[in-house]
């Protein structure tokens, strides 16, 4: 599978924009994208810090939605400070 290089800031914007589109996630955000040297999700990054100002029920519902979205992004992107593509 081809994975495309993306910057941390752009990836964080994509994730947080997605959160804004979900009713249960409207008050949630991901704080940072950090390195995953072990490539545990099939890529070199993972999220760090997930905050919600809503209820616990909203947070749980949002986590379910965001986990699926993150998995799809991890299959597609590697984080790079340069704009190159990796095969």
Name every residue whose Cβ is closer than 8 Å to that of residue 52 and which is 6 or more positions away in sequence. Answer: 25, 27, 28, 58, 59, 62
Q: Identify the domain containing residue 31 by its residue range.
A: 3-81
Half-sphere exposure of 84 (CA within 13 A, CB side): 5
Q: What pLDDT sits at residue 57?
A: 83
Domain count for the chain: 1
Tens of each residue's pLDDT in the chain, 87 residues? 688 999 999 999 999 999 999 888 989 999 999 999 888 878 899 999 989 987 888 888 888 888 899 999 999 999 987 654 444
Q: What pLDDT sits at residue 29?
A: 93
Q: What pLDDT sits at residue 40?
A: 81
Q: What pLDDT sits at residue 2?
A: 81
Classify residue 50: in a domain, yes or no: yes
Classify residue 66: in a domain, yes or no: yes
Q: What pLDDT sits at residue 47?
A: 92
70 and 79 Cβ atoms separated by less than 8 Å: no
Instruction: Please state, in angstroms and rounded to a whole number, the distance separating the CA atoms of residues 27 and 7.
Output: 24
Classify residue 14: in a domain, yes or no: yes
């Amino acid at each position: 599978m081809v994975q495309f290089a993306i910057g941390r800031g752009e990836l964080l914007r994509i994730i947080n924009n997605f959160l804004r589109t979900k009713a249960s996630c409207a008050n949630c955000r991901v704080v940072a994208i950090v390195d995953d040297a072990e490539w545990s999700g099939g890529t070199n990054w993972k999220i760090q810090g997930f905050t919600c100002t809503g209820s616990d029920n909203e947070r749980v519902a949002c986590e379910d939605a965001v986990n699926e979205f993150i998995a799809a992004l991890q299959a597609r992107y590697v984080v790079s400070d340069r704009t190159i593509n990796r095969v």
